Structure 1
Amino acid sequence: MAWRATLEERRCANGHFGQNCIFQCHCFKNANCDDVTGRCSSGCAEGWSGETCQRRNIVFNMPASVSGNIAERGVTTDGDVTTCITSRPNRTGRWMIDLQVKQTVYSMRIRAGNVSVRTWGLYVSDFQDSLFWSVPCTMLRYDSNETSFTCDKPVAGRYVGIMNLHKPITVCEVEIFTCADYTFGKEDCNSRCRCFETLEVCDHVFGTCTSGCQRGYAGSDCQQACNGTYGRNCVHRCGRCRGGEACDTSTGECRNGCGTGWAGPTCHAKCPIGTYGENCSETCGHCLEGTSCFPTNGTCVKGCASRWKGPKCDRSCDFGEYGENCAISCGHCISNTGCDSQHGRCVAGCEPGWEGVFCTVECMPGRYGPDCNKTCGKCLHPPCDRHNGSCGTGGCLQGWSGATCHHSCDMSYYGANCDFKCGHCADAAQCDPTNGTCPFGCEPGWHGGKCDHTCLDGTWGENCSETCGLCHRNEACNPATGLCDDGCFVGYSGTYCNVEKEFFDLSSALVMPVMVVSATIVFCNLCLLFTCLVFKWRRDEKQIPRPRPNTEALLNLEAE
């Protein structure tokens, strides 16, 4: 794995590279490496390997013994695989090297002669005299003559040995690897230590740190970058960063601010009361009882205060609404003026038919109009309409009229809705408005309870209490005055034709009419005779010849 530069890394002095320049270059002939990546353009120095030359062969050019004899220096550790050494024949083969100091042995590579390394055992010990008291590293199970391997587990000791029971061994090259300070790895040493204490050298094999991991990293080898967490060993969870972004794995800060409903450098604090939104930059609406809104979306926990509505309680009540969350409809306010949006009172009063502070109470029977401030009229079938006071199809009681039956009948009228005209009451008095009766009786010529009937023939006067006289041709007298309009009957006289004449007999009474009729007949006949004579004379006159006038004589006479 290649080294990668980080923001914290800066240019280092010659011979060093990496974060805080704590890594040492191991380039060929002490050449400088890249101060960021640590790569050596000239290759690694002898005894060093890996992409950044951080893997060291700790036995390079060190002396080793085979079957108890000291081999020539570096024969099996000089990097030349062509130089080999074989143990004594017919005996247990054994190779041993002194590391000079106690070290951890884990990763190794062996090149043998033209023999298999199978059944070779690797041991690590603190004692030089015998490998039988040593700790086994591993038993090789490979049939080839070259292999790279690791111990079953890391083993610490000063002496490392190879042993093949009852068989000789041929060793050409042995390499035992360890990692440079501040690096680790089971084979390649390409991983960096990430200890909390910057100068702590982590375990060369597993990368473990006694001080724990540096901020932003976790895991047994401290190589696992925090994900949604931050701080030392990633033990702290990130706050609510804007857009769900991850926080800074070291400090926990949100680079682009907090998400809705959260505040503070690490966005762990909820918005202060009365605020909400990203970075708590929005102000809550008019929540009920002054409670706070949800810090994420601004909705009010208990709903809205009076006069306000909407999820965020930031909209005033529409016309005709009032109360908490504007959930109550206004009463019947006059002329659609609307009510007080907080308490619901109808400021201008109630529309016809309703009363009360909120105009939600219907008028009591017998009352009508705005705020029920009017009394019903005289309806035939009460109560009246509570809105306009009308009495419906039944109309008014006897003696009353008008749309609301508040008007008593005018002069000369009576009955339901005053639809009937009074009779001929005496002294022009008003009849009873309910039943039409005349309080002082009838005027002359009329009778009945309502004075609406003329006197029967032969009667007249007040209440038709008088009897007519004998009028001409037996006609009825005037019902009001008792007078006979065409005079009295023959033989009667007086103002009322009720005085009988003296010496009156029927025969003498008939003479005058007979004589008048006879005279009329004679006169008519004489007139007819005279007409006939005149007609005849004119006809005869036309038939007599007449002499023609002498025209010539006349002309001469004129000339003279």
Structure 2
Amino acid sequence: MTECKNRTYGLKCIYKCGHCLNGVPCDVETGSCGTECDPGYLGDLCDKACENGSYGPSCNFTCGHCLNRELCDKGTGMCSTGCDPGYFGDRCHEECLPGMFGTNCSYFCSGHCSHNESCYHVDGICKIGCTAGYRGNYCDIVCEPGFYGINCKEKCSKGCQDSCNRIDGFCRCNAGWTGFPKCNIECPSNFFGIDCRHLCSDHCGNNDTCSGYYGTCDGGCQEPFIGRICDHQIRAQGPGTLARIILTTRFGVERQQRHLAGFSLYISNTSRREEGFLCYKDLSTLELPDLDFSTRCIKYGRFVIFYNERIGQTFYSSSRYENPALTELCDVVVRGCYQTGVYGYSCNINCPINCQGRRCDIVNGYCLGCTEGWSGSKCNQACPSGWYGLECKLSCSGNCRYSDTCNHVTGRCDRGCTSGWKDYYCDKQCDPGTYGPNCENTCSGHCFNGTSCSIVTGNCDNGCYPGYTGDLCDTECLPGYFGMRCRDNCSGHCLHNQSCHHVDGVCKNGCTAGYRDTQCFNICTPGFYGMKCKETCSHRCLEICNHIDGFCSCAPGWMEPPTCNTECPDGFFGVDCGFQCSDNCVNNETCNRFEGTCDRGCQGSYSGLICDHQVFSPSFKVLVTYKEVDCEHEGPSPAGSHDGLLEKWKEKDTLYWKRNKEYI
């Protein structure tokens, strides 16, 4: 037996041993490692490196989730470039701890996944939905005002003041509503206000009930009651619109004029001048007031108050003022219309409909003030475009749909808001997660990194989450594609020709025969084949078998793949028994089925490893000498000489042959 060195084997030691465990030499004849292979290699000769996706002793371990599907170290299984999102550890086998996700498990879940479950460790999505009060793939978007509950699908009651609690819909009641805890019951008849706590007045006109919101009597009050809720009774001559006040004194002397100097006239709805309107004040410094005095004062009121004073420590000119201030009035005439809302000599013309309080100048009908949204002396001109409200002083939001101006009275956008705006006045931007006119549309929820879409267009300006495409990121990748911008191709090896998952490329129902791992990109570990790579290749395969069906070329001496369990029949040898034995083995024996050699030698004049060379006896003279050359011949080359039997050389003009000892 030949002794090979330097971890070699085979005939003449020309083959290099494989990766035997710990450097142990292989068998010098077969090359077999006998024990085990170094981690990362397999096969009898330990010359087959682990294929993609496997590592360790006998390649029995599967690589973890190395970043961007990079291959792990075939020996140790370590991921040199880091882990895919959702995994950590040197070998990237461990999923992120509950509550964490993403690259290096460095992101926190929203904490609002349904049933207190953790989000998906790869992308942070709450796969079974959100707890009440939250929405979106990541459950990180609170319900927009006006909505609550699971997935924010429940609408708050109309009776809620502002918005309701986003989780359970509880709220404080608005005026006109009651019903704990969701304020979903309108006030019953004869009640009004917050929680319907107040009783309506019994003095509404036509015995109508009041408004449940403010308690107002929309049809007016019964006489003699007034007020917003008809709760004040007129006990004296009713109020009216005054046009002129005439004062007359008893005696027309200068002293009376100085007593009268400095007087004031007020119009008030009460008996307190401080609460009234100053209609006239004598401010002259030279002239004395007329004793027959008349002034125009267009004002609505119930009391005419005459007032004069002399204040101690105050200097009054003796030429104008007389102390004390005495009231020496003989007649007081107040002219005007008793009824409100009329004007003219006979008080029979109705004031313009847009006069504030329906009160106007009783002489010319000019309004004493306009209701909201109107202007002009008779309040018959709508506010200019872009303005609304009392005295047209309020500016529209400018966000009405179709470039409309707002309602000149209320300031609201009657046909709704333009894209990106909401609320009655279209002065509030859309909440995150909504967009479009009146914020009626919901974002796709698939914008990159959980960002919200554009409140105007709904577009995801920073791109889409893996698995989605389109401006709105509302379209899943086409079949056969997945990942960021749908640029990654599926492996094409998902079971039943199904497409992979559009987000992560995973084949949810497994792989076709010959492929493995979640995305089915990797073929079976060398030495295995078939569904789920559970079938083991025959150990008699010449090389690694086909990863799909297990077929291979059989090792010398064997046939009938994929099992290669059938020995070569007599007369054949080699790989797949594809070679025919020589007919020249001694005693007509068959050759060795592995190498084709005639183990017991060749018959007759045949020689060679497989007895395929014939040796002819030379007709020439053999000179026997005692030299190292066994046989010598002088002369021409013997007929039928064989390079394997005789070696020849030339010295000067003589040819020599030497019998090769190997064939003696």
TM, length-normalised to structure 1: 0.41
Larger RCO (CA within 8 A; separation ≥ 6) = 1
TM, length-normalised to structure 2: 0.36
